[in-house]
Every structure is written in structure tokens, then in C-alpha cells.
């Protein structure tokens, strides 16, 4: 009987570039937020382009509504009750970290909560807990769609 093989992008990148494994707990919260921002952006862009071919400017505008700090802050508020103690601790570390750049057109509260959200996404990514990332993002997006009185996410509850 054949074993099914799951292709993981992270493993492929590490193997091809000969990168060493690093303990996820050794990363600072801002480094976790740095990679978490990229992963969340990729998820959102994948979701947005699944809506069909559009002008890049329109894709960018739609993506921006999901990746701005205020949207991430709302999502974080929705997913907080779903977090394990470990996940909540990572979120808190990210939220409480001193950021280098000031928030652009966002409240400091939203910006800090968004940083915690991104740190959590980065942490889960580095731990290869991809299903958990998508579970939390989907929950957060559903909260955004309820706030906007429509299914803006294209995801079914």
C-alpha cells in the first residue's frame, strides 16, 4: 500500500536552500510577526484572486481591506476565545512588544493587537501548524463578514 506524501512548501524551501532548523521559541515576537505578516498576506491574496481575474489595482484594494491593522485587530478579538494557553501567550508577547515603526493611520491599540495576531500566525507557521492557521483565519474572516453584513470573504461558515 502506498503512503501518501504531503508536500510542504516550508520543507521544500529548507531543503533546496539548505537551511537549518531553528527552535521557534528562540525567535523574538517581532520576528514572528514579520513572517506571520507574509503568511497572512499570502492567505488573503490567495483568497482574493480566487474570486477571478481582475485588475491588479482592484486586487490590491480588496487585499488591503483584510490586511490593515484594524481588520486584523477585529479578527484577533474574534479568535481570542478559541486560543490555547500557548497561543494566547504568543499573541500577548507580540502585542506587548515594542515596535520599531509607528502605526500608519491606525490606532495604537489596533496596531498592537495586529502585531500580536501576526506573531501568532508566524509562530504557528514555523511550527508547521497550517490547519490551525487557516482555522483561526477563517474564524476571524467570518467575524469580519458579519461586521460588514455580507459574506465578503467568499468562505462558507
**CA–CA dist 97, 8 (Å, integer):** 30
User: What is the per-residue DSSP string for 49-106?
Assistant: HTT----HHHHHHHHHHHHSHHHHHHHHHHHGGG--HHHHHHHHHHHHSPPSSPPSSS
For residue 152, give every residue at least 6 positions away whose Cβ sits within 8 Å of its Cβ, in sequence order, or none: 65, 144, 145
Q: Identify whether 110 is a catalytic site residue.
A: no
Q: What cell does 153 get?
A: 470573504
Annotated catalytic residue: which of 37, 41, 110, 147? 37
Would you name the residues annotated as active-site residues? 37
Amino acid at each position: 500500500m502506498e503512503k501518501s506524501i504531503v508536500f510542504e512548501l516550508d520543507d521544500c524551501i529548507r531543503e533546496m536552500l539548505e537551511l537549518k532548523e531553528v527552535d521557534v521559541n528562540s525567535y523574538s515576537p517581532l520576528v514572528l510577526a514579520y513572517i506571520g505578516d507574509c503568511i497572512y498576506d499570502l492567505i488573503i491574496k490567495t483568497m482574493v484572486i480566487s474570486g477571478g481575474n481582475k485588475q491588479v489595482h482592484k486586487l490590491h484594494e480588496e487585499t488591503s481591506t483584510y490586511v490593515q491593522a484594524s481588520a486584523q485587530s477585529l479578527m484577533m478579538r474574534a479568535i481570542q476565545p478559541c486560543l490555547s494557553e500557548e497561543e494566547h501567550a504568543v499573541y500577548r508577547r507580540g502585542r506587548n512588544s515594542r515596535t520599531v515603526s509607528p502605526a500608519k493611520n491606525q490606532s495604537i491599540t489596533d496596531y498592537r493587537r495586529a502585531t500580536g495576531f501576526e506573531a501568532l500566525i508566524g509562530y504557528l507557521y514555523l511550527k508547521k501548524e497550517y490547519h490551525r492557521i487557516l482555522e483561526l483565519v477563517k474564524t476571524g474572516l467570518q467575524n469580519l463578514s458579519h461586521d460588514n453584513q455580507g459574506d465578503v470573504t467568499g468562505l462558507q461558515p
